[in-house]
């Protein structure tokens, strides 16, 4: 039996839309931009991000509360406190929030506060987690494993789909190769291939691919040009002070400028950058 039953495109125009909120949808004509720091560090940090990026505009804010770190001695995230900060940002700024889920035990707490659950690269083949997310009532942002083939990536999506959750967005974030100058190698070939082979929206994370902030904008532009449905980009009020992934974080003005520069590229490929209508900020 083919690994790919539910993820396959069955005809050329077969495209699934995945909604993040009433106004934000992946896979349509509008490109969805998710921005924010690698990790939620404090309420003040996230307020600054949300306030500045509201006008960019971004359609969703990211920030890890549970962080998968190479070293067990590195900052592991604020955990539940981080989720509370995200919930507060969502409420006050009327913006959807995206955050990573690392284990089955975290699903309920995260799903109660976030709009989209991110499966990180290191968990792309955590099959029990994928099955459990099939039962979750939230869209899933599934990141490609560090060295996953296209078949393995689609197979991971298939786990979520076949366990009952149709709302899966794929994310190419670079794959490991021999050259360490860039943190990873952004594989735009797989973006084009996934768009042809599956009906799922595909977004690109240029930040973890590049690993260096000065390379993020060119990769983001290339991703839009080659048909990505959205971007997830790391930024920080004080990039050098980021507790994780500092080297790849854009400053907030750099981020706003990047979105401005993406506009003509989106237009050239028949897309636009969404400008969501937002309620006034609650007191």
Binding site for ligand PEP (CB under 6 A): 38, 64, 68, 120-122, 143, 173, 205, 208
Nearest residue (CB) to ligand PEP, 27 versus 206 = 206
Distance CA 97, CA 61 (A): 5
Residue 187 sits in the site that holds Mn ion (CB under 5 A): no
Contact partner at residue 121 from ligand PEP, Mn ion, none, CB < 5 to 8 Å by partner kind: ligand PEP
**Which pair of structure tokens corresponds to residue 275?**
């400008």
Rounded to a whole number of angstroms, the minimum distance from the CB of residue 60 to ligand PEP is 13
CB of 51 to ligand PEP, least distance (A): 22
* Rounded Cα–Cα distance for residues 119 and 90 (Å): 20
Residues 6+ apart with CB under 8 A from 214: none
Which position's Cβ is nearest Mn ion?
38
> CA 57, CA 114: separation in Å to the nearest integer?
19
In three-state secondary structure terms, 183 is coil
31: preceding bond cis by omega (within 30 degrees): no
Which entry of ligand PEP, Mn ion, none binds 163, CB below 5 to 8 A by partner kind? none
**Segment near Mn ion (CB under 5 A); pick from 22-30, 38-46, 134-142, 167-175:** 38-46
Cα separation, 88 vs 91, in Å, equals: 5
Nearest distance from C-beta of residue 224 to ligand PEP, angstroms: 19
Among 7, 32, 33, 38, binds Mn ion (CB under 5 A): 38
* Distance separating alpha carbons of residues 244 and 89, to the nearest angstrom: 20
Q: Are 122 and 142 in contact (CB under 8 A)?
A: no
- Using the rule CB under 5 A, is 169 a contact of Mn ion? no
Closest-approach residue to ligand PEP (CB): 120
Stretch that binds Mn ion, among 49-57, 102-110, 238-246, 267-275 (CB under 5 A): 238-246
**Neighbouring-strand partners of residue 272:** 30
Nearer to ligand PEP, 94 or 106 (CB): 106
**Contact partners, residue 277, CB within 8 Å, separation at least 6:** 23
Nearest partner of 84 among 52, 112, 56, 121, judged by Cα: 112
The reply to whether 258 sits near Mn ion by the rule CB under 5 A is no
**Of these, 52, 115, 187, 245, which contacts Mn ion (CB under 5 A)?**
245
Please say which residue, 252 or 271, places its beta carbon nearer to ligand PEP.
252
* Positions that interact with Mn ion (CB under 5 A): 38, 245
């Amino acid at each position: 039996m083919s690994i790919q039953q539910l993820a396959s495109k069955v005809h050329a125009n077969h495209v699934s839309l995945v909604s993040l909120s009433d106004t934000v949808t992946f896979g349509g004509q509008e490109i969805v931009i998710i921005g924010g720091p690698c990790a939620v560090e404090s309420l003040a940090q996230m307020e600054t991000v949300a306030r500045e990026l509201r006008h960019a505009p971004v359609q969703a804010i990211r920030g890890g509360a549970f962080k998968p770190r190479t070293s067990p001695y590195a900052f592991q995230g604020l955990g539940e406190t981080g989720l509370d900060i995200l919930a507060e940002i969502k409420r006050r700024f009327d913006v959807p929030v995206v955050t990573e889920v690392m284990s089955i035990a975290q699903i309920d707490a995260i799903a109660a506060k976030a709009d989209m659950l991110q499966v990180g690269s290191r968990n792309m083949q955590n099959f029990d987690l994928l099955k459990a997310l099939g039962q979750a009532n939230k869209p899933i942002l599934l990141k490609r494993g560090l060295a996953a083939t296209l078949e393995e990536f689609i197979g991971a999506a298939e786990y979520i789909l076949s366990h009952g959750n149709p709302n899966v967005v794929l994310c190419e974030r670079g794959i490991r190769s021999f050259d360490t100058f860039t943190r990873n190698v952004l594989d735009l070939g797989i973006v084009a291939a996934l768009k042809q082979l599956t009906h799922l929206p595909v977004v690109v994370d240029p930040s973890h691919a590049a690993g260096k902030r000065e390379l993020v904008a060119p990769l983001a532009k290339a991703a839009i040009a080659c048909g990505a449905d959205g971007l997830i980009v790391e930024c920080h009020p004080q990039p050098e002070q980021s507790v994780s992934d500092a080297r790849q974080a854009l400053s907030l003005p750099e981020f706003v400028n990047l979105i401005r520069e993406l506009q003509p590229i989106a237009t050239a490929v028949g897309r636009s950058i969404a400008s969501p209508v937002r309620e006034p900020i609650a007191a």
